[in-house]
Structure 1
């Protein structure tokens, strides 16, 4: 019994293949002959001889010399047949190998990407990115908070996708906060970025995207909310990398969420109105107990640290 590969090319040379399969064989030969730098004559036969036989030609039905030619051609193309079968069965776009990094509460990490860019990942955050960026693009996905310092590459824009927005840059530094159930905030330190909200369809371009420059910030509170732009001191929004926090009329409820991620604890408000107390100032890097002493004195409240729980007592401010 003839091998399937030999039968395939006998059928090709005899004109028994469909037009689609003939075209595939011919296209594959052209691609393979260009791609292969070293044509293996022992395995594939003489390249020009193969080229002559790979093009369809009328064959006389009375010629007795036709069968030997067919067998020789099939032998010469045996290795190519195997490659062809593999070629048509493999996916054309192999999956991209992804890397995912997650920080637990109480932890931060620094990630160096292959293109020379750096990501500082805040506590309780996850970022995923290709192990090797493909040509033409650099895209990562973020849930949580991170500071990005992007190496310039005009041929490959850098795109950060969050659940509600995308941020596109060529080379700059910026901070993104995109925790679940919290507003999405993008703050630019250097360069400029293009921010686009999702979904984009129901909105005009002026309402779904904008360009931010240094010390500018955009806030999106929800899918149905408009984007709001503000001028800020960008350094304050990335100071978490050194353990410092700037409080600009921040509510105690918002600060509690930040400290929960920073120290890996849970705040329990025994009076819900305490969440609305506002704070301003600069909190330097210090222990949780020292920080709670400061907050208790400022707000005239009481607290108790019980393992991983922080209890807050007192009346509304």
Structure 2
């Protein structure tokens, strides 16, 4: 019997799912191991968990032997009904399954999902004291109580994190194949499903961002050329970058590549202060930002408007005022075409 076969059969045995034939085979093999000179446990290099399973098996055998001795010792005094003997053995086997589930099966985890819609933002407090500020059209999924070794959540959309420091439990944000790991810091993650890239921007402390391998395709940047760009690209290798305040990791989904660059925090964290920050932002992205911010659908009637670049800062402005400023700066006209629908039109920008 190989090590794998032995461990598979042992696991079924202590869970109470092994057949009678399986149990006989296992008992015979185990008893033979005890009389052999070779130390299989040492040769097989068993882990602590695997050794504990063997100890559970040995404890079960001792309990069964005691039941048999009690049954024989009571013969002639009074008769023990067969169903009681069977019941006691079932209880012992059930005990093995209970011990197994206690020590080896993961606890059932209650997960919580929090989402925001267009025009909404929300602040969520986590069980460890960390806070998450969700931007519009975003979702986080997290356990009701974090495990003892790490704090893991899943993000779809955009959120700003302020993480309580805990050196024994790293805080991990999962966004597709990208993992952002910290001990205690504040940072922003933007991972829109419709976007071709994911941005991780650090405000305080240090953050590690790790991704899977890339396929060597060309890196495409969302807006202008990155500032102080340093490209880290290793084909078929795990990539990991460590970021400090004012630095950003840009992950390109289609290629699996990651870049590290220095950025202006005002630009990428402005939304958390309720500021719309546009910095040479393409018009199609402006339409998406305004649509999420004000809970409207904005469409560009002329596809040539996509290439228009817009700059400006807006805090507490009405949507109509922002649209009027676009008309003034770029000659872009707007009209309300439905209850929450706006259409933009105009000549291509220079």
Q: TM-score, normalised on structure 1?
A: 0.75
Counterpart check, 1:188 vs 2:202: yes
> How far apart are the structure 2 equivalents of 1:18 and 1:259?
71
Cα gap change, 1:224 to 1:65, in 2 (>3 Å): closer
> How far apart are the structure 2 equivalents of 1:208 and 1:69?
73
The structure 1 residue matched to 2:275, chosen from 244, 247, 265, is 244
> How far apart are the structure 2 equivalents of 1:64 and 1:302?
97
SS of the equivalent of 1:227 reads: strand
Cα gap change, 1:116 to 1:69, in 2 (>3 Å): farther
- Residue 277 of structure 1: aligned partner: 308
Is the CA contact (8 Å cut-off) linking 2:155 and 2:174 kept in structure 1?
A: yes
Structure 1 unmatched runs, 5+: 1-16, 32-50
Q: CA deviation at 1:245?
A: 1.9
Deviations 1:95-125 (A, max 9, x none): 3111111111111111000000000011111
- Residue 85 of structure 1: aligned partner: 94
SS of the equivalent of 2:176 reads: coil
> How far apart are the structure 1 equivalents of 2:320 and 2:185?
37
Is the CA contact (8 Å cut-off) linking 1:25 and 1:84 kept in structure 2?
A: no
Deviates more, 1:228-237 or 1:125-134: 228-237
Structure 2 unmatched runs, 5+: 1-22, 31-52, 217-233
After superposition, residues 61-140 of structure 1 pair within 5 angstroms as 65=73, 67=75, 82=91, 84-85=93-94, 88=97, 91=101, 92-140=105-153
Q: CA deviation at 1:139?
A: 0.4
The structure 1 residue matched to 2:248, chosen from 202, 207, 217, is 217
Alignment RMSD, CA only?
3.6
Counterpart check, 1:301 vs 2:301: no
> How far apart are the structure 1 equivalents of 2:161 and 2:131?
6
Is the CA contact (8 Å cut-off) linking 2:187 and 2:202 kept in structure 1?
A: yes
Deviations 1:189-243 (A, max 9, x none): 0001111123579945987221111000121232315322221122431221232
Is the CA contact (8 Å cut-off) linking 1:128 and 1:141 kept in structure 2?
A: yes
> How far apart are the structure 2 equivalents of 1:206 and 1:245?
37
Counterpart check, 1:198 vs 2:198: no
> How far apart are the structure 1 equivalents of 2:265 and 2:238?
23
> How far apart are the structure 2 equivalents of 1:147 and 1:264?
20
Q: CA deviation at 1:93?
A: 2.0
> How far apart are the structure 2 equivalents of 1:159 and 1:93?
19
Deviates more, 1:221-230 or 1:121-130: 221-230
> How far apart are the structure 2 equivalents of 1:64 and 1:246?
85
Q: CA deviation at 1:157?
A: 0.3
> How far apart are the structure 1 equivalents of 2:72 and 2:152?
62
Q: CA deviation at 1:161?
A: 0.6
Cα gap change, 1:142 to 1:197, in 2 (>3 Å): same
Give the length in aligned residue pairs: 277
